[in-house]
Structure 1
Amino acid sequence: MQHNEIKKTILVAGATGYLGNYIAKELISRNMDTKIIVRKPGKIIDIASKLTGIIQAEVTRPETIRGHFHGVDTVISTVGITRQKDGLTYMDVDYGANMNLLDEAKRAGVKKFIYVSVINGQLHRNLKLVEAKEAFVDQLKVSGLDYTIIRPNGFFSDMRDFLKMAEKGSVYIFGKGKKKINPIHGADLAQVCVDAINSNKKEIAVGGPDILTHYEVAEMALLASGKPINIIHLPHWLRKSIIWIMRTFTSSKTYGPIEFFLTLMAEDAIAPRYGSHRLSHFFQNEMDTLKKRT
C-alpha cells in the first residue's frame, strides 16, 4: 500500500537520455516531486517548469553533485555510455559515475537506489559494455541502501538499426534469424522504473509485449520502409570474426556496442512481457517522422 501522504522526492540521473527522459515525464505525470541531474539543461526545456529542481552537473566529477541530494528519497540512474563520444570509457561512466551517485546518495541519507542495467548482465560480464554495469551492480548490492536493479531487454530505440538497413533496401541477420527478442518502448519501461520505487523486488527483468524472431523484426522494418522483403542471412562465423577484429583493432568505446549487439544476436533474449507499445507502430511512426523531415 502506498502512503500518498508522504511526498517523496525522486532524483533522476541521465534525464536527457532516451529512457531517463521518459522516466522524468512518468514521475511528473504521477505528480511526484522530481529532480534531475543534467549536463545540458537546454535539452529538457519541455519539462523544466514541472520539475522540483534541476541540478547542472557532470556525474563523472563528484564535486559537481556534492550537497545536491539532501531531501531526496530515491535515486533512479540510467547513466551509461552507449553512443556517447567524449573520450570517457565504460568504467569512467557506467561504473565510476554511478559510484559517484551512490556515494553521494549514501552521504545524503537517500533510502533507495534504482539502477537500469541490461538483461542477463550477470551472464555477459566478458562484454565491455556489460562489465562496467555489473561491477556497479556488485557495489550497489553491498551498499546498505535499499535497491532495485532493472534488467530491460533491448529498447525500441536500438531497433532503429534494423530500420536504417531497411531504408537501404536489405536487412542483414545472422543464421536463420530464429533467435527471439521482446524489446520494450521507453515509455513502458519508464512505468516499470517508477513502479519500482515502492517495490520490494531487488531485480526486475522486463521486455515488451511482442516476442519476435530477428527475421520478423527485419521483415517489419522492411514493411515499414515500404521496401520489398530482402533479408540476407549471414553465417555466424562472420559475426564472430567481426567481434574478434573489432576487439583487436579498435578501442573498447568503438567495439563495445558492436560486441554487445553481435553477441546478443546469437541468443534468445526474452524477458517477462510488459507494456502496450508495439514495435510495428514504432517503426511506422519513425518512418512517418522521417518523411515529414524530408
Structure 2
Amino acid sequence: MTLLITGATGTLGRQIARRALDEGYEVRCLVRSFRKASFLREWGAELVRGDLCEPATLLPAFEGVTAVIDAATTRPTDSLSIRQVDWDGKVALIQAAKEAGVDRFIFFSILDSEKHRDVPLMDVKYCTEQFLAESGLNYTILKPCGFMQGLIGQYAIPILEKQAVWVMGESSPIAYMDTQDIAKFAIQALKVPDTINRSFPVVGTRAWSAGEIIKLCERLSGQDAKVTRMPIGLLRSVQRMARFFQWGLNLADRLAFTEVVASGKPLTASMDDTYSTFGIDPNDTTTLEQYMQEYFSRIMKKLKELEYEREKAKEKSKKKKLFR
C-alpha cells in the first residue's frame, strides 16, 4: 500500500510518516520544499513537490496512491490564511483524491469543532468534515484536541529558563495526547474496516488544566514557575486590533481559537469506543506524567553533564595558571 501524507514536516505529520515507514508502508510525502523535508527522504519516504493552494500540483502526486493521511494545517507564522489552506486547500485535496480513486482518506479535525462554529479554525474543520463525508470517499475522521509536544515550549522551557509562563483566561482542562500515539491511530485506521466513514475522538488519558501542568513541571524540574495571567478581555482587544490589518488576519483567527481554550470548559471525550474499534490497548497510551518525566529526565541529565564539563574546564584553567 502506498500512502500519500500531507503535512509530513509538521509535529504530527512526521510521526505519521515515521510510523508508516516502520510498519512497512510505501510513503510519499507532499511537500513544498525538498530542503525542509530532506529528513523524510533520509527516513525512506518519497518526496513529491506540491501545494494545497495550487490544485494543479496535486493530482500528479496521487499516481499509484492507495490512501491519503492529511495532517496539514496552517501555522501561526504562515502568510496564508486558515481559509486558504484549511478550506480551499483541503477541498482541492479531497477532489484530487476522489478523481484519483484512492481507497481511503484519513483526515484530522479538532475535537468539538461543531460546538465552536464562531471560531474560524473550528468552523473550517467542521465544514471540511461535512465536505469529506459527502465526497463519496471512504474516510475516517480523527479528532485530537492538543499535542503533548506543544507543552514543552509553553511550560517546560520557560520554567527551566526562569521565564514567564503565560496563562490565559480560565484555562480549559485539555486531554493532550502524544503525537506518536495519535500516529498509531492514524495507521491503524487503514487496517480496520469498522473505522470507515466514521469519526473518532483521539485524546489523552485525562484532561489537564494549566495550573496542574505547571505544578507537574515545577515538581519534575525542582524550580518555581513565574506565572503571568492574561485577562480574556485583553486577548479579545488584541484580536479585534489584528483584524484591522491584512497581515493580522491569520493572527486574529488564531487568537479566536485561543479563546476556546481559555473558556474554562474541558476539552476531552470518552475513548472507550475508539480503543475498542481500533483494537488498541489503552494501557499503551502515554500519559502526560510519563511524557514530562521523560523530557525532564533527559534535560536534567544533559544540564548535569554540561555543568560537569564546565567544572572540568575551570579546573584545567586553574592548573594552567599555576604553572605559568
Task: Tell me the TM-score range normalised by the shorter chain.
Answer: 0.7 to 0.9
Whole-Å separation in 2 of the counterparts to 1:72 and 1:290: 43
- Cα deviation for residue 35 of structure 1 reads 1.1
Q: How many residues align?
A: 282
- Cα deviation for residue 128 of structure 1 reads 1.7
User: Conserved in 2, the CA contact under 8 Å of 1:90 and 1:129?
Assistant: yes
Give the aligned partner of residue 87 of structure 2: 95
Change (3 A) 1:176 1:287: farther
Matched, 1:264 2:264: no
Whole-Å separation in 1 of the counterparts to 2:122 and 2:95: 21
Give the aligned partner of residue 41 of structure 2: 48
Change (3 A) 1:52 1:182: closer
- Cα deviation for residue 170 of structure 1 reads 4.4
Matched, 1:173 2:170: no
Counterpart of 2:149 (choices 153, 157, 162) is 157
Give the aligned partner of residue 277 of structure 2: none
User: Conserved in 2, the CA contact under 8 Å of 1:59 and 1:100?
Assistant: yes
Whole-Å separation in 1 of the counterparts to 2:99 and 2:74: 25
Whole-Å separation in 2 of the counterparts to 1:65 and 1:289: 46
Counterpart of 2:109 (choices 107, 110, 117) is 117
Q: CA RMSD in A?
A: 2.7
Matched, 1:197 2:197: no
Secondary structure of 1:11's aligned partner: strand
Counterpart of 2:296 (choices 276, 284, 294) is 284
- Cα deviation for residue 196 of structure 1 reads 1.4
- Cα deviation for residue 230 of structure 1 reads 4.7
Counterpart of 1:23 (choices 5, 16, 36) is 16
- Cα deviation for residue 257 of structure 1 reads 2.5
Secondary structure of 2:85's aligned partner: helix
Whole-Å separation in 2 of the counterparts to 1:154 and 1:138: 22
Give the aligned partner of residue 96 of structure 2: 104
TM-score when normalising by structure 2: 0.77
User: Conserved in 2, the CA contact under 8 Å of 1:10 and 1:75?
Assistant: yes
Structure richer in helix, relative to its length: 2
Counterpart of 1:65 (choices 58, 72, 87) is 58
Whole-Å separation in 1 of the counterparts to 2:294 and 2:252: 27
Change (3 A) 1:293 1:188: farther
User: Conserved in 2, the CA contact under 8 Å of 1:206 and 1:272?
Assistant: no
Task: Answer with 61-70 or 29-38: which moved more.
Answer: 61-70
Give the aligned partner of residue 314 of structure 2: none
- Cα deviation for residue 227 of structure 1 reads 2.2
Secondary structure of 1:180's aligned partner: coil
Give the aligned partner of residue 207 of structure 2: 211
User: Conserved in 2, the CA contact under 8 Å of 1:9 and 1:71?
Assistant: yes
Secondary structure of 1:88's aligned partner: coil
Change (3 A) 1:111 1:170: same
- Cα deviation for residue 164 of structure 1 reads 4.8
User: Conserved in 2, the CA contact under 8 Å of 1:13 and 1:77?
Assistant: yes
Matched, 1:137 2:149: no
- Cα deviation for residue 135 of structure 1 reads 1.9
Secondary structure of 2:110's aligned partner: coil
Give the aligned partner of residue 178 of structure 2: 185
User: Conserved in 2, the CA contact under 8 Å of 1:219 and 1:231?
Assistant: no
Greater C-alpha radius of gyration? 2
TM-score when normalising by structure 1: 0.84
- Cα deviation for residue 175 of structure 1 reads 6.3
- Name structure 1 gaps, 5 residues minimum: 1-7
Whole-Å separation in 2 of the counterparts to 1:53 and 1:88: 26
Secondary structure of 2:12's aligned partner: helix
The superposition leaves residues 243-279 of structure 1 with CA deviations (integer Å, 9 ceiling, x where unpaired) of: 2431343433112223212321321011345522534
- Cα deviation for residue 162 of structure 1 reads 2.4
Change (3 A) 1:51 1:283: closer
Secondary structure of 2:118's aligned partner: coil
User: Conserved in 2, the CA contact under 8 Å of 1:114 and 1:193?
Assistant: yes
Change (3 A) 1:257 1:282: farther
User: Conserved in 2, the CA contact under 8 Å of 1:78 and 1:116?
Assistant: yes
